[in-house]
Structure 1
Amino acid sequence: MAASSTPDSFLQKPTEELLFLVQNPELYHPSLVAEAGRELRRRGASLPPPPTPEATAAPESAYPESVPETSAGARWWPAGVLAAAVLGLGWWGLHTPTKPATPPASVAAKKAEPIVLEAVKTERLPDFEAKTAAQVAELRRLLPAADRADTTATGRYLRMARRYWLAENAAAHLTSQARTGAVTAVFPGQVDLTLERITWFMRAKAYNQHLTATMEERLNLMQQGLTLRRSSLQVFKSRYEAQMQLLDPQEEKVNQEAIGLAEELRGHYQRKQPLRGNITEL
């Protein structure tokens, strides 16, 4: 298997891919199968039952320890009868014309039916690694020179930015699928994986990483955006399971707000201040 077995690698894999790994242990290294099983248990997914051992063969019937002795005639006459019967069947088989066995009509018709392969269209959730790397580099360039001079704080900030963009890109991708109706059976699992990425960012955000004021301000924007994304993804999953329309005007507004926060981080968009007062006085 090409992917590494690091926790981050398995965190980014869809649940169905991890299930395939566990269900086919003979195709992969045991350490990868074990790591996939641990990740599935962490997600609360049900693991496939282990193969049941083959039923042991029934013990041979016990023979009596002793057989009563019989006379020589009584011992050999059954063998003679059996030999005569075998010779008679052999003579009958040689003088009786054989006919080719004809399979039943239902069996012949079944064999003649063509094999139909049913294909199910699925789409794997992209990893967005290349796109995320470019976005992180862009955020680094946008930092003031004084902030970049603090290399320790800059490193921590960029690691948080990577977590944000991995989650944001995946959430935007799933929102696009919800808008176009291009969701498949793997959609709920992909939502769960993206929610895990959001949680990955939120847990790290809870700690004081001793960043600069500019970095903290931008991390707050990231947190606001992922809070909106988390709410929408949970709504999408619930509506998918209830077979309802995924995107409505309210969720579209949430999506646009999250996009606006992402653009503001990149310096491409500045949010307008909310309107205040009576509309007739403006």
Structure 2
Amino acid sequence: MTHPIGIFDSGYGGLTVFRSIAEALPQYDYIYLGDNSRAPYGDRSFDTVHQYTLQCVRWFFGMGCPLVILACNTASAKALRTIQQKDLPLIDPSKRVLGVIRPSAEVIGNYTTSRQVGVLGTRGTVLSDSYKIEIDHFFPDVQVHQKACPMWVPIIENGEYASEGANFFVKKYLDELMTAAPAIDTILLACTHYPLLADKIKKHLPANVQVVAQGDIVAASLTDYLHRHSEIDNVLTRNGTTRYFTTGDPAEFDDHASIFRGAPVRSQHVSL
């Protein structure tokens, strides 16, 4: 039996993170699960996101994964802490579940000179204040300005991210953020969907503002984690395989997922 690394997202966005992970660590086996039938998670309650995420984490464990990455900011913000502190000790203390917020918070202060950082995310991520809390822990001198961008995920998932129509909502949210905090010199894309809008985002920002996506950050953090945790690394199998699963329609998933993954995707349906 293989022991893959599990990569989870409510939909497609986690594939932008997985893309970086697979490039950095191609030797491992992976399973990706998109909970597309219940996506998006962004506006759902903390209890609902915890319930859905825990259900998916249990599924990963049943598939032989000793390590699961929540490649979803909403799940990381609303479910990770409870799963780590309350659920894992009861399910299997030897298993690990990691998120994308802490790795980003650990390094974002290294990017900013003005010490003013913008965080763009879903309503759920912004309302959780997870980024403010985590960044303050590592960089107490950095001011964090958050902006929810509720229209971006629907635009992206409906394949409109490259359209002229998308420019209106990209410019709208960025103008509101930069008007409120003009000294921002670094913006973190705190949703794994948003890299697909990166070119448009950069176009509507001042030239001195840098845009930071999470994929490479999370990949570097995972590489370091595995070096430091041989008890997990030694269990993981290394055949270079990837299997994709979705709770939605596989044909629809494959069509969209290949754009996020940057490579063809062939998935299977799973019922949780």
Say whether the fold is shared (TM-score over 0.5).
no
**TM-score when normalising by structure 2:** 0.23
Greater RCO structure (CA 8 Å; 6+ sep): 2
**TM-score when normalising by structure 1:** 0.22
Q: Which has the higher strand share?
A: 2
When Rg is computed on C-alpha atoms for both structures, the one with the higher figure is: 1
